[in-house]
Structure 1
Amino acid sequence: MYDLFIVGAGPVGCYFTQKISEFNYKLIEEHSEIGKPVQCAGLVGEKIFKYVKKEYLNKIDGAYIHYRKDYFPLRRKNVAYVLDREKFDKDLATDLEISFKERFIDARIKKDRIEIRTNRGLYYSKYLVGCDGACSMVRKYVTEKKIKYLKSIQYTVEFKHEENMVSFFLKPFSWIIPENRKICRIGVISDNPLRDLHVPEGRIISRTGGLIPVGLLKTFRDNIFLIGDAASQTKPLTGGGLYYGIKAADIAGDLFLEDKIYKYDSEWKKLFGNQIKIGMMARKIYERMNETDMEKFYNFIKKNRKKIEESCDFDKHSSLFKILLSSPETWPLILKYILPF
Structure 2
Amino acid sequence: MNKIDFQCIIIGAGPAGARAAYELSKTQKDILIIDYRNKLGDKLCTGIIGKNCADEFGLDKDLIYHEANSADIYSPDNNHYSLHSKDSKAMIIDRVKYIKRLTNLAKNNGVKIYKNSRVQSISINNNKVQLSYKSLNKIYNVTSKTIIIASGLENKLLTDIKLNTLDKKHILNGSQIIIKNHLNIKNTKVFLGSKYGLQGFGWTVPINQNKLLIGVLTKGKSKEITKSFMKNLLDQYQIKKTDTKEIKSWGIPIKPIEKTYAERTLVIGDAAGLVKPLTGGGIYYSQLSGKIAAEIISKALSENSFNEDTLSEYEIKWKNKIDSEIKRGNKMREILFNFSDQKLSQLLNFSLTNKLILKILLSKEISFDNHFKSFEKFIYNKNIIKIYSNSKSKLIKSIIPSLKKHILN
TM-score with structure 2 setting the length: 0.76
Give 2:20's match in structure 1, choosing from 6, 16, 19: 16
* Pair 1:313 & 2:367 matched: yes
The aligned counterpart of 1:332 is 398
1:157–1:203: 8 Å Cα contact kept in structure 2?
A: no
Give 2:222's match in structure 1, choosing from 163, 169, 193: 193
Aligned pair in 2 of structure 1 residues 135, 300: CA closer, same or farther (>3 Å)? farther
Aligned pair in 2 of structure 1 residues 182, 101: CA closer, same or farther (>3 Å)? closer
1:9–1:98: 8 Å Cα contact kept in structure 2?
A: no
CA distance in 1, matches of 2:380, 2:15: 36
- Offset of residue 79 of structure 1: 1.4
- Offset of residue 324 of structure 1: 4.1
Give, as a single letter, the amino acid of the residue that structure 2 aligns with 1:315: D
Give, as a single letter, the amino acid of the residue that structure 2 aligns with 1:47: N
CA distance in 2, matches of 1:88, 1:286: 33
1:275–1:317: 8 Å Cα contact kept in structure 2?
A: yes
Q: Which moved more, 1:209-218 or 1:143-152?
A: 143-152
The aligned counterpart of 2:131 is 116
The aligned counterpart of 1:64 is 72
Give, as a single letter, the amino acid of the residue that structure 2 aligns with 1:113: K
CA distance in 2, matches of 1:86, 1:72: 32
CA distance in 2, matches of 1:41, 1:208: 12
CA distance in 1, matches of 2:142, 2:149: 15
The aligned counterpart of 1:28 is 34
* Pair 1:153 & 2:182 matched: no
CA distance in 1, matches of 2:165, 2:319: 19
CA distance in 1, matches of 2:264, 2:97: 32
Structure with greater proportional helix content: 2
CA distance in 2, matches of 1:273, 1:202: 46
The aligned counterpart of 1:5 is 9
- Offset of residue 122 of structure 1: 2.4
SS class of match (1:273) = helix
The aligned counterpart of 1:80 is 90
CA distance in 2, matches of 1:240, 1:7: 21
2:223–2:248: 8 Å Cα contact kept in structure 1?
A: no
Q: Which moved more, 1:67-76 or 1:259-268?
A: 259-268
Give, as a single letter, the amino acid of the residue that structure 2 aligns with 1:151: N
Structure 1 residue runs without a partner (length 5+): none
Structure 2 residue runs without a partner (length 5+): 301-309, 390-395
- Highest CA radius of gyration, 1 or 2? 2
TM-score with structure 1 setting the length: 0.90
Aligned pair in 2 of structure 1 residues 124, 277: CA closer, same or farther (>3 Å)? same
CA distance in 1, matches of 2:313, 2:65: 37
The aligned counterpart of 1:43 is 48
The aligned counterpart of 2:392 is none
Give, as a single letter, the amino acid of the residue that structure 2 aligns with 1:33: K
Q: Which moved more, 1:131-140 or 1:278-287?
A: 131-140
1:308–1:320: 8 Å Cα contact kept in structure 2?
A: no
Q: Deviations over 1:136-162 (max 9, x none)?
A: 433333324624110011111122344
* Pair 1:209 & 2:209 matched: no
SS class of match (1:258) = helix
Give 1:299's match in structure 2, choosing from 349, 361, 380: 349
2:72–2:81: 8 Å Cα contact kept in structure 1?
A: yes
CA distance in 2, matches of 1:103, 1:315: 31
Which 4+ stretches in 1 moved above 6 angstroms? Answer: none
Q: Superposition pairs for residues 263-278 of structure 1, below 5 Å?
A: 263-278=313-328
Aligned pair in 2 of structure 1 residues 9, 117: CA closer, same or farther (>3 Å)? same
CA distance in 2, matches of 1:243, 1:138: 23
Aligned pair in 2 of structure 1 residues 102, 321: CA closer, same or farther (>3 Å)? same
Give, as a single letter, the amino acid of the residue that structure 1 aligns with 2:115: F
* Pair 1:127 & 2:146 matched: yes
CA distance in 2, matches of 1:104, 1:183: 34
SS class of match (1:12) = helix
CA distance in 2, matches of 1:216, 1:300: 34
- Offset of residue 255 of structure 1: 2.7
